[in-house]
């Protein structure tokens, strides 16, 4: 009982409304505590853990093909010898057995000859790798509340850029830092204080900065949505800290797990490798979730909000979206994109995206060819009546469900509902989107209007 009251007190303290004049340190501290609360809640719900498990299994099947493709690309750029040290660093928390696993993986990769696989074998190799990245994208889209994956054409081009260009940039950065540290001038500076201490600290910081760079890269390019650099870096920093803590904790666990080795014998290293792989994917997804909350601070709420909105709220948001789009189009202002609309309305991007798709399907708005696409009216706004917007949302939410069995009472109710819909349609059809956009005021049920002063 005491613990329950203690937790309730903490929760009340975190979510209590505070004055905007509060000190910046207090505001950021409370925001961080709220972020930790919602991340913990997301973990308890289990979806992140489930997706991390799925990615661990897929990675185990695709690890050798993925490294083989990266090995071939790095070999072409003359930096293939850096693959083994990086892999061994990743497996370092596994202890002495980690080096053995790394050597085995490198041995498998070295025996793969991409040049002699033939066209079919090469296609299967790339398909395996692209399937892994596709599953990673789906998991990232889940954290970003994005329902649609990339199109087939974009999937092929974007995935190949991540698979081929990503390793080259990463290993080039590692090679550059290694070359600088081995430079004769740098070696001489190491003997001079305070340059020696500064370079020693830099040598400890640079590897972590490279990890942050790698996390930021995948957080920006993998999700099928526009991710801000600030949000990606924030999520990457948090994921890097978690990764370092997890590596230290896992290494301590391995050092004291002789009983597991005695029980599982030669399978012990495989089990520990799977656990470490799972922890890494879980950390990656937590970082992606953190980046989402940084970019969408309005999603940090006390309790879990159902993904489905009420039909009334959907209709209201659809009218607001149409009004904003029409207003900028009428006054020749820059057109809205999805992210700007979501921020202005204070609504999650996936909900705005759903409504934009509904309005586009009903040919009320169209997307420009820009990246990200901007939205403009599909026709003159004075020809788009308000009932078209409202009933477009209603039709999208209608799944064709019927009440069975049919009775006389049900028919009377349906007759009443149809009469209400006719009255609503008659009222809304007399008004158009342009009138909302230019600020026309309506007087009650009277159709007359006047321009604002």
Distance between CA atoms of residues 128 and 58, nearest Å: 9
The more confident residue out of 293 and 195 is 293
The more confident residue out of 45 and 82 is 45
Longest dimension (CA), the chain: 95
Q: Please, are residues 284 and 239 in contact by the beta-carbon 8 Å criterion?
A: yes
> What's the pLDDT score for residue 400?
56
> What's the pLDDT score for residue 189?
58
**pTM score:** 0.66
Could you read off the pLDDT of 70-98 as tens digits, one per residue? 666 666 555 556 666 666 666 777 766 66
Could you read off the pLDDT of 32-41 as tens digits, one per residue? 888 888 888 8
> What's the pLDDT score for residue 396?
81
> What's the pLDDT score for residue 239?
92
Could you read off the pLDDT of 274-291 as tens digits, one per residue? 888 899 999 999 999 999
- How wide is the angle at C-alpha 287 spanned by C-alphas 352 and 36, nearest 5°? 85
Could you read off the pLDDT of 258-278 as tens digits, one per residue? 555 555 556 667 777 888 889
* pLDDT range class, residue 451, cuts 50, 70, 90: very low
Q: Please, are residues 109 and 64 in contact by the beta-carbon 8 Å criterion?
A: yes
Q: Would you kindly state where each structural domain of the chain is located, as residue ranges? A: 40-299, 317-450
Mean pLDDT of 239-256: 81
Give the architecture-level CATH label for domain 317-450.
Orthogonal Bundle (1.10)
> What's the pLDDT score for residue 154?
74
Long-range pairs for 118-127 at CB < 8 Å and ≥24 separation? 125/65, 125/68, 125/69, 126/69
Read off the tokens for 294. 């940084």
Read off the tokens for 57. 């299994």
* Contact residues for 424 (Cβ-Cβ < 8 A; gap 6+): 387, 390
The more confident residue out of 58 and 444 is 58
Read off the tokens for 381. 């706004």
């Amino acid at each position: 009982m005491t613990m329950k009251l203690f937790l309730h007190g903490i929760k009340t303290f975190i979510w209590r409304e505070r004055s905007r004049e509060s000190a910046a340190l207090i505001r950021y501290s409370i925001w961080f505590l709220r972020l930790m609360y919602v991340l913990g809640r997301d973990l308890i719900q289990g979806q992140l853990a489930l997706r991390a498990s799925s990615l661990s299994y897929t990675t185990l099947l695709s690890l050798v093909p993925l490294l083989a493709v990266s090995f071939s690309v790095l070999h072409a750029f003359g930096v293939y010898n850096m693959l083994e040290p990086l892999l061994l660093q990743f497996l370092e928390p596994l202890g002495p057995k980690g080096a053995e696993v790394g050597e085995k993986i490198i041995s498998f990769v070295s025996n793969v000859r991409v040049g002699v696989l033939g066209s079919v074998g090469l296609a299967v190799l790339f398909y395996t790798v692209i399937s892994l990245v596709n599953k990673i994208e789906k998991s990232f889209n889940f954290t970003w509340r994005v329902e649609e994956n990339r199109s087939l054409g974009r999937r092929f081009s974007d995935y190949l850029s991540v698979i081929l260009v990503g390793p080259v940039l990463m290993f080039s950065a590692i090679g550059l830092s290694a070359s600088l540290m081995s430079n004769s001038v740098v070696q001489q500076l190491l003997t001079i204080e305070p340059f020696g201490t500064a370079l020693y600290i830099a040598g400890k910081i640079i590897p972590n900065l490279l990890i942050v760079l790698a996390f930021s890269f995948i957080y920006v390019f993998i999700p099928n949505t526009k991710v801000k650099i600030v949000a990606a870096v924030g999520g990457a920093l948090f994921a890097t800290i978690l990764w370092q803590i997890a590596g230290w904790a896992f290494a301590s666990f391995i050092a004291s797990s002789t009983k597991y080795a005695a029980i599982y014998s030669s399978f012990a290293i495989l089990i520990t490798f799977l656990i470490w792989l799972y922890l890494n994917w879980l950390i990656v997804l937590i970082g992606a979730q953190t980046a989402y909350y940084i970019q969408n601070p309005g999603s940090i709420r006390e309790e879990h909000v159902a993904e489905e909105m009420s039909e009334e709220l959907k209709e209201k948001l659809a009218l607001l979206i149409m009004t904003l789009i029409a207003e900028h189009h009428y006054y020749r202002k820059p057109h809205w994109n999805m992210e700007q609309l979501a921020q202005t309305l204070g609504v999650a991007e996936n909900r705005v995206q759903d409504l934009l798709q509904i309005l586009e399907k009903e040919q009320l708005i169209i997307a420009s060819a820009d990246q990200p696409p901007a939205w403009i009216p599909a026709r003159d706004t004075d020809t788009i009546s308000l009932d078209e917007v409202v009933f477009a949302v209603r039709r999208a939410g209608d799944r064709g469900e019927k009440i069975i069995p049919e009775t006389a009472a049900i028919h009377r109710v349906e007759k009443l509902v149809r009469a209400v819909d006719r009255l609503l349609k008659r009222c809304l059809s007399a008004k158009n989107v342009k009138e909302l956009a230019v600020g026309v005021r309506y007087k009650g049920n009277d159709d007359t209007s006047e321009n604002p002063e």
